[in-house]
Structure 1
Amino acid sequence: RAQLPELPDEAFLIEPGRRGTAHCIIFALDYIARHHDKDEPIAFIHSDHNVRDLAGFARSFATAGKISNKNNEIVLIGIEPTFPSTGFGYIERDGVLDEDAGVYNVESFKEKPDFETAVEYVRSGNYLWNCGYFVGSVNTFLNELSQSAPELEKNYSLLAAIAEHGSDEYNAAYLSLDNQVIDIALIEKAKSLAVVSARFDWMDIGNFKDLHDVVVKDEENNYFKGENIHPIEVDNVYVRNEESDKPVAIIGLDNVVVVNTPDGILVARKDVSARAGEVAKKLQK
């Protein structure tokens, strides 16, 4: 809400508790079904991606929406790989649905590969980076749930039968569900999928190194956010201070991330900052 102040409160759907992307999505589908046309295409998009080519981004999703409505199937967005990345999963495409629009049938999904396998994927020309975007209407998703994910369909029906979305009864029912990932619970089991081949400038901001790459920096390649920050002879650093009454001093460092919040302090080399997730998991236990 702080990042999107122009949107009204009713534009935000907040899970009662974390139950994985599969149940988060049926939570959203149920709300949309109650308030909107169930045949209108919906796009599910990650919030931590950086997209510079907004026009190309919009064109890809418009194409996906048209194909989804036409064929009554979920449509993915895949990125044409520009190098053999080991950090993304891949979508294998097979069979052209619309060559001019760059739409293909989905043959299979591949987990994050080793470097040699990634080289083969890129060399073949048959694979796209899987960025986790998919498009379909409520009815399209419900149709696929009935065919490929009966447990998710049952859970959707459980929520849809409750009179008020977001009521205490509704929230209790939602919290009774288990934690499931949409890719495993539905997408990889789907009977029929299409993928739009996209070329817009895109980055999955999965760690502080990626975040530092996209923010506006000073002449020494430093980024500072917050007050009471005191750098001396630093280069290529990302520093954020969320407690203005606490001074943060950084002296003689480079290639580091320093984040101070009321809940804790992170200090790490940027190239290994993704391991902050390991620490977060330990702290949750």
Structure 2
Amino acid sequence: MLYALILAGGKGLRLYPLSREKNPKQFLKVINDKSFLRNTVDRIRPLVNKENIYVVTNEEYLDKIYAELPDINRDNIFVEPENKETATCIGLSAVKLLKRDKDATMIVLPSDHYIEGDKMFIDTLSQAVEIAERRRGLITIGVSPTRPETGYGYIEMGERINGDIASYKVERFTEKPNIEVAKDFILKGTYLWNSGMFVWRADVFLREMEKYLPKMYKNLMTIYQHIGESTEHEVIKDQYSLIDGISVDFGIMQKTRKAYVIKCEFVWDDIGSFAALGRFLNNYRDNNISGNAFMEQSENCYVFGKDKLIIGFGIKDLVIVDAGDVLLVMDKNKEQEVKHLVNEIKKINELGEYL
């Protein structure tokens, strides 16, 4: 049977201070009047029954998810005791789904993407499901790059396979290259961005994990043996403490020989940075703004206003974010370093209330 798994445990630190530890990116309503999480659930509903939509998160966000998704069964919310990267949370979800259905096929979706073209989105995932079940592969959705982006992973397309939508064997994955390599990939024309959306059978995914992450596989199979028992929660907590977390891209996708990629034809954006979010702001005097802002002799700035008027005079290439209790002013070229900035703030105890 077909299941959707939505990843909703991240803290979205690259959008700080809009995104906070207690109200991370997946709960923000910045594109329309729905949160990213709600939009993700609604988008997959034409393909996956509501009863088969699952969310994986951590205990800290449980109440927010219950409030945001009252139509999703609470048993469909998988809880991690701590964040151990995407290979771990997807692996935990895979063993839980496999316990319920030995033929489970998983559509894995981040909860913070912007997508236009819902029909093409569903058609693309339907073809991915077909490849996953027919070829027993690990399928990802690739996006044609429009700029030399250093914050994304890249996929080199290999041999074309059958399908109405262009689909390929994966030649190789390259995770977050430097700017020169990214420019070279675009010139070659054989690379796609890795969207972070995946489709695979749960059993196939776990077999690949057994090959490339054998220690994690062993921890997860111990959990598998106790699912449904009174000790399940305690066993998960114990096994998680033993796991060295790693992303699914580094841990499995860069190593597997079973990877395929479908070249998406819908509009996609990963709202993982202020540059991404800035693309959806209003253009005003060569700047992108939202909220209250007046820009004079200024260019190429992203301004996220709130209540007070923000005036930019004689500035360029800045990100300005008014989050009420925090005002961020940042060089646009530093946006990939916001996580580092937040970690530095964490070291100062008296600033903890602002995280």
Fold similarity call, TM over 0.5:
yes
Q: Does 1:140 align with 2:204?
A: yes
The one-letter amino acid of 2:329's match is: A
Q: What percent identity do the matched residue pairs reach?
A: 27
Report 1:46-61 matches (<5 A).
46-61=110-125
Distance in 2 (alpha carbons) for counterparts of 1:153 and 1:107 = 25
Distance in 2 (alpha carbons) for counterparts of 1:23 and 1:222 = 38
* Residue 16 of structure 1: aligned partner: 81
Q: Does 1:25 align with 2:90?
A: yes
Which of 329, 340, 343 pairs up with 1:281?
A: 343
Deviations for 1:219-259, whole angstroms, at most 9, x for unmatched residues? 896434xxxxxx5746963135xxxxxxx534424852111
Q: Contact 1:51/1:200 (CA < 8 Å) preserved in 2?
A: yes
Q: Contact 1:159/1:174 (CA < 8 Å) preserved in 2?
A: no
The one-letter amino acid of 1:151's match is: K
SS at match of 2:243: coil
SS at match of 1:167: helix
Deviations for 1:178-228, whole angstroms, at most 9, x for unmatched residues? 22222111111113211111121011111234224336x69896434xxxx
Give 1:268 shift: 2.2
Q: Does 1:267 align with 2:267?
A: no
Larger mean CA deviation between 56-65 and 176-185 belongs to 176-185
Q: Does 1:171 align with 2:237?
A: yes
Deviations for 1:70-116, whole angstroms, at most 9, x for unmatched residues? 01111111112234434422111111122543111111112334444
Distance in 2 (alpha carbons) for counterparts of 1:69 and 1:232 = 52
The one-letter amino acid of 2:337's match is: R
Unaligned 5+ runs, structure 1 = 225-230, 241-247
* Residue 68 of structure 1: aligned partner: 132
Which of 249, 252, 275 pairs up with 2:311?
A: 252
Distance in 2 (alpha carbons) for counterparts of 1:152 and 1:112 = 24
Report 1:190-205 matches (<5 A).
190-205=256-271
Distance in 2 (alpha carbons) for counterparts of 1:284 and 1:178 = 23
Q: 1:276 to 1:266 in 2, by over 3 A?
A: farther
Q: Does 1:188 align with 2:233?
A: no
Distance in 2 (alpha carbons) for counterparts of 1:144 and 1:109 = 16
The one-letter amino acid of 1:177's match is: I
Q: Contact 1:89/1:111 (CA < 8 Å) preserved in 2?
A: yes
* Residue 146 of structure 2: aligned partner: 82
Q: Contact 1:257/1:270 (CA < 8 Å) preserved in 2?
A: no
* Residue 13 of structure 2: aligned partner: none
Q: Contact 2:99/2:227 (CA < 8 Å) preserved in 1?
A: no
Q: 1:251 to 1:97 in 2, by over 3 A?
A: closer
Larger RCO (CA under 8 A, 6+ residues apart):
1
Deviations for 1:96-139, whole angstroms, at most 9, x for unmatched residues? 12254311111111233444443432333321111222110111
Distance in 2 (alpha carbons) for counterparts of 1:196 and 1:43 = 14
Deviations for 1:8-27, whole angstroms, at most 9, x for unmatched residues? 33332221111111111111
Figure out how many residues of one structure are paired with residues of the other and give that number: 267
* Residue 131 of structure 1: aligned partner: 195
Q: Contact 1:147/1:191 (CA < 8 Å) preserved in 2?
A: no
Distance in 1 (alpha carbons) for counterparts of 2:194 and 2:186 = 13
Which of 298, 301, 305 pairs up with 1:239?
A: 305
The one-letter amino acid of 2:233's match is: S
Q: 1:172 to 1:146 in 2, by over 3 A?
A: closer
Using the size of structure 1 for normalisation, the TM-score is: 0.81
Q: Contact 2:293/2:303 (CA < 8 Å) preserved in 1?
A: no
Q: 1:257 to 1:107 in 2, by over 3 A?
A: same
Q: Contact 2:91/2:206 (CA < 8 Å) preserved in 1?
A: no
